Structures are given as C-alpha cells and as structure tokens.
Amino acid sequence: MSKPSDLVQGTLDILLLKMLALEPLHGWAISQRLKQVSGNILQVSDGSLYPALHKLEQAGWIKAEWKTSELGRRAKFYSLTRRGRGQLARQAADWERLSGAISHVMRLKEA
C-alpha cells in the first residue's frame, strides 16, 4: 500500500474519525481494525498514527482517556467528540464528492 504521505491529504484523518465513530479504541487497536476492515490494504505506521491522533485531539475532534486494555495493560483510549462527529460528516461528504469525481474521470473511454 502507499504510505500515508502518498494518500490524498486528510485521508488518514477521516479514516481515524470513522474508526472512532464505531467505538472507542486505543492506538494499536485502531491500527489493527483499519487493517482488518480494509482487507490488509490500509496499514498505518506508529509514526503516522500517533501524530495524527494527537492532531485530532488538539482540534477537539477526539478525546483520550487512560483505561485498561483487553490484555490488562493501561492504554490511552480515544473516542469521538460531538465536534468530531460533525467534522466526520463534513469530511465524509467532501470525500464522496471527490471520489465520485475521480471515478467519473477514470471511467472515461480512451481514444
């Protein structure tokens, strides 16, 4: 898969917001869930994941809380805020518009 820097700007943000809209998760679980639901196509390195989570937290779109993980270890669990839900809705609408336009161009018949 392409590295996150090769993806459309903001793609990682919307993917993280969507994962957290489903349920609160800690960083490693977010990474694993994204990998799982994408059929092992989307993989995010720690070096991209944690700075992105920090940025989303600073923006007020997610919040973090220390809890015990399923393995009995303390982990920082992230969850979507109300502002984050609004941001996800806006970004999802933008993504649908952009991906639809790209799909339209890619379906053009070649000469």
* pLDDT surpasses 90 at 35: yes
Q: Tell me what pLDDT residue 38 has.
A: 92
User: What is the dotted CATH code of the domain comprising 11-105?
Assistant: 1.10.10.10
Give the Cα separation of 19 and 95 in Å (integer): 16
Q: Tell me what pLDDT residue 7 has.
A: 56
Question: Average per-residue pLDDT in the chain?
Answer: 91
Q: Tell me what pLDDT residue 23 has.
A: 96
Q: What is the pTM of this model?
A: 0.86
Mean pLDDT of 48-72: 94
φ, ψ of residue 67 to 5 degrees: the values are -145, 175
φ, ψ of residue 80 to 5 degrees: the values are -80, 140
Q: What is the pLDDT of residues 93-102, one digit of tens each?
A: 999 999 999 9
* pLDDT surpasses 70 at 5: no
Burial (CB count within 10 angstroms: exposed 0-12, middle 13-18, buried 19+), residue 53: buried
Q: What is the pLDDT of residues 64-87, one digit of tens each?
A: 999 998 888 999 999 999 999 999
* pLDDT surpasses 60 at 3: no
Question: Six-digit token pair at 4?
Answer: 């996150």
Q: Tell me what pLDDT residue 8 has.
A: 58
In the DSSP assignment, the letter for residue 70 is: T
Domain boundaries, the chain: 11-105
